[in-house]
Structures are given as structure tokens and as C-alpha cells.
Amino acid sequence: MLDLDPRLLKIFASVMHCGSVTRASERLNTSQPSVSKALKRLEELVGFALFEPDGRNIYPTQKAQLLLESAVRIERELEETKQRILEIRSERPQGVRIAAISAISAALLPRAIVEFRKIHPGVPLKIELWRRELILSEIDAGRVDIGMLYSATQSVPSGFRILAEAPTLCVLPKGHRLSEKQVVTPEDFHGEKLIIYHNNLDFADPIWRILGTLDPSPEIVVEASQGAFLRDLVKHNVGISLLDGFTVNDAEMRGLVIRPFKPAIPFYLAIADQGQRLSSEAKDFLRLFSEIAVKIEADMKNLS
């Protein structure tokens, strides 16, 4: 049975990140011999080599690369445990832990935070903007109170539920030639510069499938994961964009032209939470967020 010392994993992770024993020792504020000794001890415990020497340098083995993710996760969990102990000892509010994909940060999340602060000014919010996969794993592990993501279909991951739906809309700078159209279609993109959600985002798959049918293909000048970033680029006349209705509803959209887009591409907002284990503050945040999302859904129906 392995009896791993978390301190050894922390030193290992530091060497991996820093690329050398010297820089890791400086980062950890300890001596180089201490770091080297810790690495040797860890290798003895795990039963395989972590680094290969090459002159004065060392290079991580493939097995070291495989171990790194677990070492970093353990290090993070230890830091979270230390913070939780300090919170309990000082009787400070634990706060609400939220993880969302970055696209949701454009409008929905800030509005909910503003409303939450009105009723709980002393409760901290811990917001993480993560990839879908990490959100799913952290929700399952119980390290996040509320998880939020977009889906291109009504089939959402286990534990999640659809909260609201909004359409894909075309966002244009003022005075753009397409402003005269009541509805924008893919054929209208001929000769245009497009700014859209990144093609590695699952909820953007339907948009990319439609673009893939066009001949000639439109010019994609920027791909990004944050709706606010795409929105701001449209404001600066970098191009036009296709954005979800949740982002388009943002007050910051003023000064831009919004047009319905056909064929319809829905964005489904899905959430998951820890249920009965939620604190009263977390339940309040969930209620506020849900109310805002449902209102936006109603506004979008009126727009269409």
C-alpha cells in the first residue's frame, strides 16, 4: 500500500511546472538538495522514474506526465481544505461555489451576482469559468454547488436539467448592410467577416454545420469561447457574429443591431446543483439566476 506524502507531490508538481530543480527550489523557498531528495523519495514510493538526466538538465518521463494531473488535483484539494478549515475556524461564511462555461459569463452570471449581492452582501461567491468536462467532474465530486453550461440539444449530461432556451441571433454593427433585413440567413454571409463561438465548443456545433454547407465558405476572422468578447469585437466593426439570446439580452448590446437568424438554432441553458446539500445562500443564488434566465427566455420569444 502506498503511503504518499502530499508534500512530495507538491514538490514534484513544482518541478514539472518550473522545468528545473533550481527554479522549483526558488519557488518553494527551499534548497535544491531538499528538492532532489524529495524527488528521489517519491520515485522510490511510486516505483518508477519520474525524470531522466541530460547533462545538467532533467526531463520528465512519460509516466511523470501521467502522474502530473493527479498531483495537481491533490495539491488543489489540500489548498481548498486549508481554506475551508480557516473559514470554519473564523466562522466566516463558506460562500457559494459556482462553475460555468465562459460563454455564460457574458450576461447571465453578472446579473445574478448583482442581485445576489443585494440580499447577501457579506457572502462570498467563488466563480470558476471552466471547460464542460471539468464542470461535470467537479459537480459529481461535490466540490461545486452549482454548475452551468449550454447545450445544442435537449439531451444534457446526467444530473443536469434544462432551465431555459434562447435562439441564435445575428449581431451587427450599426449601419451594416444586413440591418435592413428582417431575418438573416446563412446565404447573407457571402462576403462577410464572421466572429463566432469556437468550433471546439459542443454547443456551437449546429452553427458550424450550417457554415460548412456554404459555398463559398464565409471568412471566419475570430473564434472565441466568450460571448462578451465576440460582442465587443462586433462593436469595433471587426465583423458580424452569431450569438445566443442569453448574451444578446445583455444591456451592453445597446448600440448594436440584433436580427433573428434562420434556420433556428436553439441554445439550451442547463444547470446542476447539490440539491438538499445546498446552503440557503446557494439556494437564493440559484433562484435569482433561474428567474433571470426564464425572463430572458420570455423576452426572446417576444423578439422572434
Q: How large a percentage of the chain has pLDDT more than 70?
A: 93
Please report the pLDDT score of residue 87 as a whole number.
61
The sign one gets for the Cα dihedral 148, 154, 160, 162 is positive
This prediction's pTM = 0.72
Q: Which residues of 137-158 are buried (b: 16+ CB within 10 A; e: fewer)?
A: bbbeeeebbbbbbbbbeeebbe
Query: What would the mean pLDDT of 9-15 be, rounded to a whole number?
Result: 87
**Which comes out higher in pLDDT, residue 290 or 142?**
290
23 pLDDT band, cuts 50/70/90, is confident
User: How many domains does the chain contain in total?
Assistant: 3
Please report the pLDDT score of residue 136 as a whole number.
94
Q: How far apart are CA 219 and CA 238, in angstroms?
A: 12
196, 200, 202, 204: CA torsion to nearest 10: 10
CATH code of the domain containing 36: 1.10.10.10
Which of 90, 114, 137 is a domain's end point?
Answer: 90
CATH code of the domain containing 232: 3.40.190.10
Write out pLDDT tens, residues 226-267. Answer: 998 999 999 999 999 999 999 987 656 678 999 999 999 999
Domain assignment of residue 196, given as a range: 163-266
